[in-house]
Amino acid sequence: MRLTTRGRYAVTALLDLALQPTEQTITLAEIAARQSISVAYLEQLFAKLKRHGLVSSVRGANGGYHLARNADEITVLEIIEAVNETVDATRCDHKGNCQNGAMCLTHDLWQELSHHIADYLAKISLADLISRDNVQTVALRQNVTGTDSALLSGTGI
């Protein structure tokens, strides 16, 4: 099983969004700068996240994004699935045709693993991630680094 960049970036971007003040809208450029993800890629992801009701957007001069629901109501599995990712460890997309159209010896093992991973990710919310010490430490570093680079480039905050 392999979680692609799309799924990883979607979780990272929504966690970044969840770490920001709830009354503030956050631009994709701000997330891109903090997380080293291209704005163009974030635009693609956020279109899908918006369609699935995970983020809302505000247009205009003070526009940007915010979470559409509370951080404790959005799970990592929801985010991954919203961007068309799966947590399937089988080679056959759960179809049982892994070996020349027939089930392979280890099909049930990989299918059970997929279910365990999905159950695990369904139990972790953005709020759970926010409460982790390492997440707080990294977020502080990224905010300081982002502020320093914005000031150095003359764009301000």
| Per-residue pLDDT tens over the stretch 3-44 | 789 999 999 999 999 999 988 999 999 999 999 999 999 999
| Burial class of residue 44 (count of CB atoms within 10 Å of its CB; 0-12, 13-18, 19+) | middle
| Per-residue pLDDT tens over the stretch 45-78 | 999 999 999 999 999 888 899 999 999 999 999 9
State the pLDDT at residue 145. 65
Task: Classify domain 3-87+125-133 by CATH number.
Answer: 1.10.10.10
Q: Which of 38-42, 82-86, 92-96, 103-107 has the highest mean pLDDT?
A: 38-42
* Stretch 145-157: mean pLDDT: 45
Q: Say whether 65 sits in a helix, a strand or coil.
A: strand
Indicate the pLDDT class of residue 151, thresholds 50, 70 and 90.
very low
**CA angle, residues 95, 5, 150, in degrees to nearest 5:** 160
Domain boundaries along the sequence of the chain: 3-87+125-133
| Per-residue pLDDT tens over the stretch 111-131 | 999 999 999 999 999 999 999
Dihedral over alpha carbons 116, 119, 121, 127 (to 10 degrees)? -150
pLDDT at residue 155 tops 60: no
**CA angle, residues 148, 34, 118, in degrees to nearest 5:** 155
State the pLDDT at residue 98. 82
State the pLDDT at residue 140. 85
Q: Which amino acid would we find at residue 7?
A: G
State the pLDDT at residue 133. 84
Which residues are CB-neighbours of 126 under 8 A, at least 6 positions away?
Answer: 14, 15, 18, 67, 71, 72, 74, 75, 76
CB 76 within 8 A of CB 121: yes
